[in-house]
């Protein structure tokens, strides 16, 4: 298995890393899963999520009163790294554990926290992101989905697209317009809703990606009646809340480790055919991984302190996506000259999957061009 250097600043995480590696080795040996590239998006296994919940590896940093475990961010980081490096089937709970739970913790009512967070931490409640629409991706403020007040709550109408895992999720956080924009300022008048996906009037249909996997969806909301308390946070504060949610979404190790499982499987083979060119390639990848890892952990610590490091998260994602795509392309170069029959069993499938997922790395969660624009603006460019 890929040997991550220990987290020097938190040696308490070392024992946890061994525990996670032991669990993964047992699961692999018993046929519990087949390693997958891009596992956090395309490999969903609710049973595996429940096993993680039972071990206390979901909602790790949340308070105990909401089913969490009050552990430091470095511990969650270790579990995340090991799961990604193993290509484990973590997609079912990924969004709920990574962002929805923390978002509810920050903006939710006491009741939302009490009813939903313990279920997420147990690996029994999954969630989806309802931001993008057919005409509103990069230009998110152009969304048309609307929620209008009624005597009993809200009526939600519109269409969301590309929502990862919506087909198995229990809730979706939907960004909707609740009042008109103020002239050209379209970020005004938006609100977030915590929508129970079992409500009448919701229709979810799968969309296949380049490799044929239907991991994301189109969701139609046809006059869906929402209770008053479906509002998440403050009415009209949806844009600011969304930006906070995106900081959670953009900065984790999954933004640079998606392809690591492929490298990990290839390393013994590359090692058996070691030469100066291959050594330089591997060394360069590992150097970049170490830097990104420190940056990502730094953002996680800022989030934990209640800060909103939106631009720092963009930097991690921009650099991380380039690296994870680079890993696969460089690997193809390193494999040149090594006969196919020497490849480990199943490696061709893993490599093919990784190649087919490359285009989505720089699109999902905000495109590279958009991230660069945000970073440049922070430096004073208009
Ligand atoms: C695998 C995957 C999973 C996803 N999961 C989710 C999800 O769970 N929930 C969700 O809400 N959305 C999800 N998305 C949608 C994703 O956030 C959008 O695809 C992304 O924001 C881009 O929007 P778009 O597809 O409408 O492309 P567009 O915004 O139309 O962009 C098309 C191209 O134009 C470029 N471009 C656009 N505007 C500018 C500009 N101002 N300057 C420079 N270049 C620009 C973009 O960089 C891009 O290359 C997912 C997407 C993918 C691929």
Q: Whose CA is nearest to atom 22 of ligand 1?
A: 137
Q: Residue 90 half-sphere exposure, CB side, CA atoms within 13 Å? A: 27
- Name 306's bridge partners: none
Choice from 99, 132, 258, 325 to test ligand 1 binding pocket (greatest atom count within 8 A of CB): 132
Q: Which DSSP state fits 183?
A: T
Measured CA angle at 227 (ends 224, 233), to 5 deg: 105
Tell me which residue has its CA closest to atom 40 in ligand 1: 370
pLDDT (0 to 100) of residue 120: 98
The answer to whether 33 and 49 have CB atoms below 8 angstroms apart is no
**Closest ligand 1 atom, CA of 366?**
21
Query: For residue 211, what pLDDT is reported?
Result: 82
Considering the chain, tell me which residue range(s) the CATH 1.20.140.10 domain(s) occupy: 251-378
- CA 38 – CA 267 distance, rounded (Å): 18
CATH architecture classification, 251-378? Up-down Bundle (1.20)
Quickly tell me which residue has 């999957």 as its tokens: 353
Kindly give the distance from the C-alpha atom of residue 272 to the centroid of ligand 1, in angstroms, as a whole number: 41
Which DSSP string corresponds to 2-71?
Answer: --PPP-TT-THHHHHHHHHHHHHHHHHHTTS----TTHHHH-B-HHHHHHHHHTT-SSTTS-GGGT----
Residues of the chain with CATH 2.40.110.10: 128-238
Cβ 99 vs Cβ 158: under 8 Å? no
Domain 12-125 is found in CATH 2.60.120.460: no
Please give the pLDDT value at position 126.
98
- pLDDT tens track for 135-146: 999 999 999 999
Pocket around ligand 1 at a 6 A CB cut-off: 128-132, 137-138, 162-164, 216, 360, 363-367, 369-370, 373
Task: Name the nearest CA neighbour of 324 among 255, 250, 251, 265.
Answer: 255
Quickly count: other Cβ atoms within 10 Å of residue 267's Cβ. 16
Eight-class DSSP state of 152: S
Would you state the structure tokens that stand for residue 70, as one six-digit string?
């009050």
User: Kind of pairing, strands 171-177 and 127-130?
Assistant: parallel
> Helix (H, G, I), strand (E, B), or coil: what is residue 212?
coil
Asked if residues 321 and 362 have their Cβ atoms less than 8 Å apart, the reply is yes
d(CA 199, CA 186): 29
Phi and psi angles of residue 252, each rounded to the nearest 5 degrees, phi first: -80, 170
DSSP classification of residue 363: T
Tokens 């989030």 correspond to 303
- Please give the pLDDT value at position 142: 97
| CA separation for the pair 105, 99 (Å, rounded) | 10
| DSSP strands (E only) in 197-240 | 202-207, 216-227, 231-232
0.85 surpassed by pTM: yes
The string of pLDDT tens digits covering residues 30-87 is 999 999 999 999 999 999 999 999 999 999 999 999 999 999 999 999 999 999 999 9
Element (H, E) at 164: strand 153-164
What is the DSSP secondary structure assignment for residue 148, as one 8-state letter? E
Instruction: Ligand 1 pocket test: pick from 161, 218, 364 the residue with the most ligand atoms within 8 Å of its Cβ.
Output: 364
**Structure tokens belonging to residue 233:** 């946070």
Q: How far is the CA of 124 from the centre of ligand 1 (A)?
A: 29
| Residue limits of CATH 1.10.540.10 in the chain | 12-125
CA separation for the pair 192, 176 (Å, rounded): 6
Superfamily of domain 128-238: Butyryl-CoA Dehydrogenase, subunit A, domain 2 (2.40.110.10)
Pocket test for ligand 1, best of 363, 371, 372 (most atoms within 8 A of CB): 363
Q: Which residues pair with 220 in a beta bridge?
A: 159, 203
Distance, CA 339 to ligand 1 centroid (Å)?
Answer: 38
**Stretches in the chain below the pLDDT threshold 70:** 1-9, 382
The Cβ of residue 330 has, within 10 Å, a number of other Cβ atoms equal to: 19
Enclosing H/E stretch for 305? none
How far apart are the CA of 22 and the centre of ligand 1, in A?
A: 38
Reduced to 3 states (helix: H, G, I; strand: E, B; else coil), residue 159 is strand
């Amino acid at each position: 298995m890929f040997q991550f250097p220990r987290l020097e600043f938190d040696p308490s995480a070392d024992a946890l890393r061994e525990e996670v590696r032991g669990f993964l080795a047992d699961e692999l040996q018993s046929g519990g899963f087949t390693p997958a590239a891009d596992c956090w998006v395309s490999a969903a296994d609710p049973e595996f999520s429940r096993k993680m919940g039972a071990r206390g590896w979901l909602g790790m940093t949340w308070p105990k009163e909401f089913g969490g475990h009050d552990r430091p961010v470095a511990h969650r980081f270790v579990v995340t790294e090991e799961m990604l490096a193993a290509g484990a089937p973590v997609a079912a709970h990924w969004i709920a554990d990574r962002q929805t739970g923390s978002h509810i913790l920050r903006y939710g009512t006491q009741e939302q926290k009490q009813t939903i967070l313990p279920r997420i931490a147990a690996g029994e409640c999954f969630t989806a992101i309802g931001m993008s629409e057919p005409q509103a991706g990069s230009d998110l403020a152009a969304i048309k989905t609307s929620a209008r007040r009624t005597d009993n709550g809200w009526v939600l109408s519109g269409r969301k697209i590309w929502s990862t895992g919506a087909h198995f999720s229990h809730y979706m956080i939907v960004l909707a317009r609740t009042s008109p924009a103020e002239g050209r300022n379209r970020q005004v008048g938006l609100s977030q809703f915590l929508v129970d996906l079992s409500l009448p009037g919701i229709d979810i249909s799968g969309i296949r990606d380049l490799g044929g996997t239907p991991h994301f969806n189109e969701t139609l909301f046809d006059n869906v009646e929402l209770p008053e308390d479906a509002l998440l946070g403050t009415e009209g504060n949806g844009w600011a809340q969304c930006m906070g949610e995106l900081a959670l979404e953009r900065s984790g190790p999954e933004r640079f480790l998606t392809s690591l499982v492929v490298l990990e499987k290839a390393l013994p083979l590359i090692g058996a055919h070691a030469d100066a060119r291959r050594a330089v390639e591997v060394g360069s990848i590992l150097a970049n991984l170490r830097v990104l890892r420190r940056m990502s952990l730094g953002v996680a610590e800022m989030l934990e302190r209640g800060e909103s490091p939106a631009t720092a998260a963009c930097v991690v994602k921009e650099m991380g996506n380039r690296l994870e795509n680079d890993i696969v392309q460089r690997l193809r170069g390193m494999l040149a000259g090594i006969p196919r029959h020497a490849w480990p069993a199943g490696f061709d499938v893993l490599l093919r999957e990784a190649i087919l997922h490359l285009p989505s790395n720089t699109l999902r969660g905000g495109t590279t061009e958009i991230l660069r624009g945000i970073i440049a603006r922070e430096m004073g460019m208009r």
